[in-house]
Structure 1
Amino acid sequence: MRNLGVLKAMTLMIGLTVLSGCATIKIGPNYDEPLKQQVIESKPGATGKVLLINIQGVISDQQHEGFFGASPSLLDRVMMQLKLAEKNKSIKTVLLKINSPGGGVTTSDILYHELMAFKKRTGKKIYVQMMDVTASGGYYISMAADHIQAHPTTVTGSVGVITILPEIVDLTKKIGVEVKTYKTGPMKDTGSPFRKFTPADDAEMQSMVDQMA
């Protein structure tokens, strides 16, 4: 099944290469190094390029700390590559290869609007290939594409916002723990696991989640 997925991914990239007369490239950024270009697939005499951007894992604005130092967050990396694609006239199309369960609401929203703004400024097309999982925020940013390809085994959908809060009041009473709260407003401790949720708490939390969706 994995080999079939790889084959379909290569088919899409090659198809874009042939249709646009472009070479498919990938750019790997690092905070302390310039962007590097790697040719993945090329057609003889091709002058244009398709930029391949991998969106893997949780969509986040957190930078990655490694043994050799920090590397850009997923948000920074995608935006860096979009800026390069905007300046580089030989890049005709952007292909997003997405394998993500989603992530932060704000980061996903920023990515979606950055992709839409990129298309508006440049007139360049965006294609999306959904891999194993493209859900929630991954699905959301896919909506900025001009064309989406999903595999038969791709898990996608699940658009929305969720907040899960524990309530352990009965447990604390059972083990003899008492928590005192001092607050400046009636809703300041909404979501605290150390007191029973009131109808007002439920309404406030649901309102916040609805606004983020």
Structure 2
Amino acid sequence: MARIGSWWRTLALTLVAAALTGCVVISPFGGHDDALRETTVEGEGQAKILWLPVSGFISDAPSQHTFGLVTQPSTLATVSRALDKAEKDDAIKAVVLRINSPGGTVSAADEIYARIRRYHETTGVPVVASFGGLAASGGYYIAMAANTIIAQPTTVTGSIGVIILGVNATGLMAKLGLENQSYTSGPHKDIMSPLRQARPDEQAIVQRVVDSLYGRFVSVVEAGRPTLARDHLDEITDGRIFAADDALRLGMVDQIGHIDDVLALARREAGVDEARIVRYYRGQSAPATLLADSMARGGLDFKAAGVPIDLSVDAAAGPQPLYLWRPN
């Protein structure tokens, strides 16, 4: 009984922490505060530079945790809300996209890319993409909307390409004595079903989808990177990853530097000598630093809290095209 009581105390404290650090807590015991606030994390002056993190799996679906009580908005919703707010603030003179992501869904990455471009075209405000440790696949895709890209010396980037994850479980089913008895309205309705072997015509159908989305990715990269080494395009776009120095050599990024270099570049592109670096946040607890990440990736670390279960919902569940580098 003591262990059960401790578990529920831990859960209650975790929910309180989630509410204070920016998660949206939906509960029968009350509403939630979803207002978007602004805080200055460093600098001074009238001009502002918005620091906008894009972290973890890029998706247009909200993530849910803690028996559905805790919901965080999707990457797309977060970026869109931030740019909507920034669009109304004439003091915002530059935006820094701090990208630390392996990528995500094709649709979310493309929509974020389009939203960033629309913001820049509407306001004329320069956008700087700052790469963290990982800016791969869809993370690199959205950076194509930026005016300038600066990677840190230890960034891993690239992975330009598309993947649709699938599995064939027919061997396992045979061992278990199971048979597929699905009923479909057409011969391709159960395409990519794990319950049977894919036919050659179906493989061709899926490959055409992948090739189409891949073509979109390559065209976005070519449009966004005029300094790209075109004679190395096949190498750059074959899905491999690159270290920062190779990315610079190939024209995939404009500069290598650290956060101070990013902020100096943002001030230069904004045409100001000094500016306040601001961040937007939800909830009552404002981020104290540039790199503070409340509930990174939208999750709650129950294992760290001593609760040996995973209550998160995977936004990437189900077969779908992904701009994603995920070795595991």
Measured against the shorter chain, the TM-score band is 0.7 to 0.9
Judge conservation of contact 1:134–1:157 (CA < 8 Å) in 2. Answer: yes
TM-score norm. by structure 2 comes to 0.53
State the 1:74 CA deviation: 1.8
Report the counterpart of residue 48 of structure 2 in structure 1.
49
Query: Is 1:141 matched with 2:136?
Result: no
| Displacement after TM superposition at 1:56 (Å) | 1.1
Match of 2:294 in 1: none
After TM superposition, the structure 1 = structure 2 runs for residues 189-204 of structure 1, keeping only pairs within 5 Å, are 189-204=190-205
Deviations 1:135-154 (A, max 9, x none): 11100000111111101210
Aligned partners of 2:23, 2:122: CA distance in 1, in Å?
23
Give the partner amino acid of 1:33. Answer: D
Match of 1:102 in 2: 103
Shift in alpha-carbon separation, 1:179–1:71, aligned structure 2, 3 A = closer
Q: Distance in 1 between matches of 2:172 and 2:135?
A: 38
Which secondary structure state, in structure 2, belongs to the residue aligned with residue 92 of structure 1? strand
Matched, 1:73 2:78: no
- Asked if the contact 2:131/2:151 (under 8 Å) is kept, the reply is yes
Contact 2:23–2:70, Cα closer than 8 Å, also in 1: no
CA offsets per residue over residues 163-202 of structure 1, 9 Å max, x none?
A: 1211122332233222222211111121122222211011
User: Which structure's residues are more often strand, by fraction?
Assistant: 1
- Residues 29 and 36 of structure 1 are in contact (CA less than 8 Å); yes or no, is this contact kept in structure 2? no
Deviation at 1:212, TM superposition (A): 2.4
Q: 2:146 aligned with 1:127, yes or no?
A: no
SS at match of 2:35: strand
Q: Distance in 2 between matches of 1:209 and 1:128?
A: 27
Matching residue's letter, 1:101: P
- Quick one: which amino acid aligns to residue 191 of structure 1? M
- Structure 1: distance between partners of 2:107 and 2:119: 18
Ranges of 4+ aligned residues in structure 1 off by more than 6 Å: 28-31
- The answer as to whether partners of 2:135 and 2:157 remain within 8 angstroms in 1 is yes
1:95-130: CA deviation from partner (whole Å, max 9, x where unpaired): 011110101110000000000111111111000110
Root-mean-square deviation (CA, aligned residues, Å) is 2.0
Match of 2:287?
none
Measure the CA separation in 2 of the matches of 1:74 and 1:133.
Answer: 16
Q: Where does structure 2 lack aligned partners over 5 or more consecutive residues? A: 1-21, 25-31, 215-328
Identify which range, 173-182 or 116-125, moves more after superposition: 173-182
- Distance in 1 between the 2:212 and 2:197 partners? 24
- Please, which runs of 5 or more residues in structure 1 have no aligned partner? 1-27
Counterparts of 1:34 and 1:189 in 2: how far apart (Å)?
43
Alpha-carbon deviation of 1:65? 3.9
Cα shift at 1:81: 0.9
1:63 aligns with 2:40: no
Q: What is the total number of aligned residue pairs between the two structures?
A: 184
Structure 1-normalised TM-score? 0.79
1:1-213 to 2 correspondences below 5 Å: 32-43=33-44, 46-65=45-64, 69-213=70-214
Percent identity over the alignment is 39
